[in-house]
Chains A and B, each alone.
Chain A
Amino acid sequence: MDERNFTYMFYGLAAAWTTIVLYVLTLVTRENKLKTEVETLKNLIKERKV
């Protein structure tokens, strides 16, 4: 059996997990951005009301 067979199996599994991790990072980054934006807009409206 080709030695690369085993190595590429790990590449495949690593690629699958990397895809998931990258999407989780996207979700986390977006979550933080949205929270900040909501807070900023709420403060802006409060300031304008005053």
Chain B
Amino acid sequence: MREKLIYALGIVAALYLVRNLYVMLLQLPDELAQGPIYRIFYFHLPGYFTGATCFFLGGVFSILYLVTRKWKWDSLAVSVTEVGLPFAAMNLITGMIWGRIIWGIWWTWDPRLTAALISALIYAGYLMLRKAIPDPTERAKNSAVMAIFAFTSVIFTYKSNEWFRTQHPAPVLSLRTGGGTIEPAMEWMLFHNWMALLMLAALFIAIRWNQEERRREIESLRREALAY
């Protein structure tokens, strides 16, 4: 049943992404000042939002693990956090490519960019920490605490272009500005692609969760094998 759901989710997410590509490339016009390259934003922003959603869930599942001490929450926490990382990387890489044309540089140590990079590195550190602790209980406890504190870096990144003077563009979504800064059709496309990437993330999380359960089975089999 779970496998069928995974396949169904995969097909729906793929179709949604293809539909979004069609609309963003063939139906929406170029942006007046930036030209066609603005379309990178349809992956840059949704990539960040998807990563941030995963990291937020990672924090929530980590709290649930610390409260209940159930392995399910630890498995879910590591699954969502790992899945968030490629989306954070997507945000950073697409941003750099956009910056090369619009700013003339690949990278600058601007507060927003630096915060996003540090945030991604912290979550990579979370995954490395898990590999470094052999005892499952210690690993789950320490990484849960780290995931909760790591989420502050996501909030810091999100708010950094309000708190500091940055080269990064100011917020454009009407949720933050009250409207008037972005063409509604373009804004809807951002939300559509965020939904599509979230569906893709949900698919990856389901697969990754299965793998984490299997890894736990391996640990138990190893102990059993040693007992003989």
A residues in contact with B34, CB < 8 Å: 5
A31 to B47, CA, bound (A): 25
A19-49 CB mask vs B (1 if < 8 Å, else 0) is 1101110010011001101100110110011
A11 with B211, Cβ < 8 A, contacts A5-B36, A45-B224 known: no
A6 to B97, CA, bound (A): 12
**Chain B interface main SS type:** helix
**Chain A interface main SS type:** helix
Please tell me if the beta carbons of A2 and B211 are within 8 angstroms of each other in the complex: no
The A-B contact count (CB < 8 A) is 88
Binding site for B on A (CB under 8 A): 1-2, 4-6, 8-9, 11-13, 15-16, 19-20, 22-24, 27, 30-31, 34-35, 37-38, 41-42, 44-45, 48-49
B residues in contact with A27, CB < 8 Å: 204, 207-208, 211
A12 with B37, Cβ < 8 A, contacts A41-B222, A48-B225 known: yes
Within 8 A of A (CB), among B62-121: 83, 86-87, 89-90, 93-94, 97-98, 100-101
